[in-house]
Amino acid sequence: MNGVTASDGPAASPDGTGAPRRRGRPPAAESAGTRDRILDAAREEFSARGFEKTSVRGIAKAAGVDSALVHHYFGTKERVFEAAVEVAFGPALAERDALLEGPLDEVGERMTRVIIGLWENPVTRTPLLAIVRSAVNNDTAAAVFRRLVASQLLRRIAGQLDRPDAELRAELAAAQLVGIAMIRYVIRVEPLASADPEDLVRRVAPVVQGHLTGP
C-alpha cells in the first residue's frame, strides 16, 4: 500500500467540480484555476505565517487576485483555512475507506503508513506544518483541526473497532503519530528526524495496532 497520493483530494471542492459556492460565477475555464491558485497561495501563507498572522488580503496578493475573489470562493479566513486543511488531509480522507476496509489486524500499519506518507511528501507536508503551527497557537484553527481530523478521521476509525473505549484508543494511536510528526518534522530532533521511514513503520505500526485492538 502506498501512503502517498496526489495532494488535491476530493474534499478540496465542495461539489467536486471546483465551482464557486456563491453567485457571480466567473467564466468556467478560469474558475477552477483561480480557486486552486488561491488555495495554493493560502497554504503557503498559512504555512509561513500561521493562522493568526495570515490575512485574506495577503492570500489574495500572493495569488495575484483581488481580495473580493478570495471572499467569493471561500467566504471568511476560517473557511479558507478549513479548505486548506481539507486539501492537506485529502489523501488521508480519500484513503479512509480503504484504510477501514482492510483486515482489522493490519489497521495499525495502514494508519501509520498513511500518516508518515503524508509527512514524507513535501506537497502535503507544507500544509500539515501550517495546520500544526496554527492549531497550536489559535483556538479557531484548533477547532477546525478538531472538527476535520478528530471527527472525520479518528471517529470513523473508532467506529470500526466495536469497543466502548474505541475513541480513546483511536486518539492514543493518533497521539503516537502526532508526537513522531512533532519530533521528526517540526522540532527536528536527531536521530528521529533522519530515521528511515520504513524502519519507523516497522517500529511504530505494532504500537498503533496495540492501541487500536490490543487488550
Residues that bind a second copy (CB under 8 A): 50, 132-133, 135-137, 142, 145-146, 150, 154, 167-168, 171-172, 174-180, 182-184, 186-192, 195, 203-204, 207, 210-211
Q: In terms of CB distance, is 97 or 190 closer to a second copy? A: 190
Q: In terms of CB distance, is 65 or 93 closer to a second copy? A: 93
Buried b (16+ CB within 10 A) or exposed e, 104-132: eeebbbbbbbbbbbbbbbebbbbbbbbbb
Q: How far apart are CB 1 and a second copy at their closest, in Å?
A: 22
Buried b (16+ CB within 10 A) or exposed e, 61-75: ebbebeeebbbbbbe
Q: How many of the other CB atoms lie within 10 Å of CB of 25?
A: 12
Q: How far apart are CB 215 and a second copy at their closest, in Å?
A: 10
Q: How far apart are CB 128 and a second copy at their closest, in Å?
A: 12
Q: In terms of CB distance, is 19 or 186 closer to a second copy? A: 186
Q: How far apart are CB 124 and a second copy at their closest, in Å?
A: 18
Burial of 192 (0-12, 13-18, 19+ CB in 10 A): middle
Q: In terms of CB distance, is 87 or 148 closer to a second copy? A: 148
If DSSP codes are grouped into helix, strand and coil, which group holds residue 189?
A: coil
Q: In terms of CB distance, is 37 or 185 closer to a second copy? A: 185
Q: How far apart are CB 27 and a second copy at their closest, in Å?
A: 40
